[in-house]
């Protein structure tokens, strides 16, 4: 047990020493203007390289991600139906589905699902 602790401590010490030496010896600077500017065939850029991001697309992606995770949480309920009490399983599943439907209704009511606006 003691040898394992000594081995782990020495590995952590060697790793930290190598990381500190790397930052000291490294020649890379963080304020290099050429590396932080966008590259356009060797010329300075004519316009900003950042394009505006559509917030609607982001909201739709987040809503999709939330409902996708909820569906993934709902899938294991089918195999557990055979191993559990049917009344308890039905109450749990219905509660989960009601919360899901209420969330969908809230998003629809707030207008987050309208793509044309």
Q: What is the pLDDT of residues 2-50, one digit of tens each?
A: 889 999 999 999 999 999 998 888 776 556 666 666 665 666 656 666 6
What CA–CA distance (Å, rounded) separates 38 from 81?
56
Q: How many CA atoms lie within 13 A of 108 on its CB side?
A: 6
Question: What ranges do the domains of the chain cover?
Answer: 2-36, 55-110
Over residues 82-102, the mean pLDDT reads 89
Contacts of range 112-115, beta carbons closer than 8 Å, 24 or more positions apart: 112/59, 112/60, 112/63, 113/60, 113/63, 115/56, 115/60
Q: How far apart are the C-alpha atoms of 70 and 107, rounded to whole Å?
A: 15
pTM score, two decimals?
0.47
């Amino acid at each position: 047990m003691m040898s394992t602790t000594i081995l782990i401590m020495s590995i952590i010490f060697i790793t930290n020493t190598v990381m500190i030496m790397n930052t000291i010896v490294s020649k890379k600077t963080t304020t290099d203007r050429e590396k932080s500017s966008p590259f356009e065939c060797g010329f300075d850029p004519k316009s900003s390289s950042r394009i505006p991001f559509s917030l609607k697309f982001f909201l739709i992606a987040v809503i999709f991600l939330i409902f996708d995770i909820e569906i993934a949480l709902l899938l294991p309920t089918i195999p557990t139906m055979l191993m559990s009490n049917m009344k308890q399983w039905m109450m749990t599943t219905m509660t989960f589905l009601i919360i899901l439907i209420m969330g969908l209704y809230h998003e629809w009511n707030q207008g987050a699902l309208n793509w044309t606006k």
